[in-house]
Structure 1
Amino acid sequence: MNLGTFGNMADNGGSVCDFYANSSIFITGGTGFLGKVLIEKLLRSCRKIDKIYVLLRGTTNKTAQERLEDFSHEVLFEKVRQDDPNIMKKLIPVNGDLTLPNLGMNNEDYSLIVKNVSIVFHAAASIRFNLKIKEALHCNVEGTKKVIELCHKARCIKAFVHISTAYSNTDKTFVKEEVYPAPENLDKIYEIIRQNEDDTEADDLTSSRPNTYTYAKAVAEYEVLRNHGSVPTAIIRPSIVTPIWRDPTPGWLDKWSGGTPIIFGLCKGLLRCLDTQPFNVIDFIPADIAVNLSIVAAAKCHVE
């Protein structure tokens, strides 16, 4: 599937591009692999977008502005820069931190987002599988709740897209396109954590999942369901995200991670066997397909 510049939407006769025209967007996780592909696609295929605000953490060596400039000069953005040399000016860095109150933004930036943004993509997450449960919840659940709070305050919110994972419900053989109850009540989870400083019993909470990442993402999905209220919301569950399939640069990726080593090893003949079950499926999805779905989902959840 290649959505290109996005065709008409059968439901309302308008196009996805029309939905994004003159809108400002707020993105968390914009410097991650999927976030970069998302930003590039929005800039290239929805040219009438007003601005894209990207939440970034400054580092000891670089400011948020410098980090944004670094990644905007990557090969991924070469095509869109050639089409419009000024297009990258639509990107606005916002210094912040997902784990802090008000997402770590100062009052001026927070007010600016609330006033101008109408579409929110929440792609930021810690994907470390070995975090303690408290740390995984702090980033992947509490961070998500802070983004939802921002959506409720946004004056002209049209859509909120939460990027989850296909593995948030690994305790089930068949997963439907619905949000399942959390593995445990969030208040109870925190109570268990408080009572068990050594994390022994706290880590037992995740026994139904292979790691704390998938556990926290399941809790986050349920918190989105419970708290999104009147905000038009979609949850996207990509599987293992792989390099770009076709659009705009086939094979592009920014780092050697995820399923890429497996794909590379198989293609080169270096990896000839895997320790697995004979009927298991390695579920990959190219980054451009996951991004196309996310962009269309925002427009779709708004019209419905």
Structure 2
Amino acid sequence: MSASEGGVLKPKYGQFTLQAREIISQPVMAAFCAGGVAGAVSRTVVSPLERLKILFQIQSVGREEYKLSVGKGLMKMWKDEGWRGFMRGNGTNCIRIVPYSAVQFGSYNFYKKFFAPSPGAELNSGRRLVCGGAAGITSVFFTYPLDIVRTRLSIQSASFAALGGAPKKKLPGMWQTMVTMYKTEGGIFALYRGIIPTVAGVAPYVGLNFMTYELVRQYFTPEGDKNPSALRKLAAGGISGAVAQTCTYPFDVLRRRFQINTMSGMGYQYKSIFDAVKVIVAQEGLRGLYKGIIPNLLKVFPSMSASWLSFETTRDFLTSLKADP
């Protein structure tokens, strides 16, 4: 409260500001906003490794321009395309990841309310896994078209012989790519190509990520404290991401392959998920289902560490905005 003329007390903040603070400080809304911040921070930090992972994933027998070590792959990307090569597709990725991560964190906190045995009670590991899986599926359906466009943007400038040699000087942007796919590859269904293996991989991945993080975070919290230190939060985030990614990585490879299944020069023409697995294993061995996992694991630790720390920091700040008038 603050003093005003005549000794009458007025609210320190305007009515609109108070209402906005009240809304944004609610647990689900705070988690939604903090999730968006966490997604943008985490993806930008590891953008070069994220793109290199995709270039590794979409290769098969006969396409081996990026059959290199991680270091040499990054050097090739730099030599061919410079700094823009490192960041290629990151703008689209951030546009995608902000709502994706916001919906994921927000819906996870929303679902926790329904799965809690009683109001305010802690969930067991099984309930956390289910809530995380549901949150992952929810976020995929809202943002999948941006994900498939990001994949196309990530590979269209790479020096794959199947794409016609040297990349074009002027490459289409996010919206142009989306419109072209819509018009030439089957309408709205083209923008959701590969969503089944995506959902199949995202549900267990997100569930494992949330479950593992909360378990490790609890383990890292000193007795008598409510929160671990920032360094321990970073470690818990990295561990949770590494565990979840390793367990579900083949689904990520399938997702990328299906996303370019009709792309000129790079299409694989898989008939189904089972057909894709059969063809990949027959032509590339079991290792084909784990192509790109090394740069992926190298990026997961810093990515998920940054994601969880920035999420908790932003969420705590937003929930603290619930102030007395």
The TM-score bracket by the shorter chain reads under 0.3
After TM superposition, the score normalised by the length of structure 1 is 0.25
After TM superposition, the score normalised by the length of structure 2 is 0.24
Structure with the higher strand share, 1 or 2: 1
Structure with higher Rg: it is 2
Q: Larger relative CO (CA 8 A, sep 6+): 1 or 2? A: 2
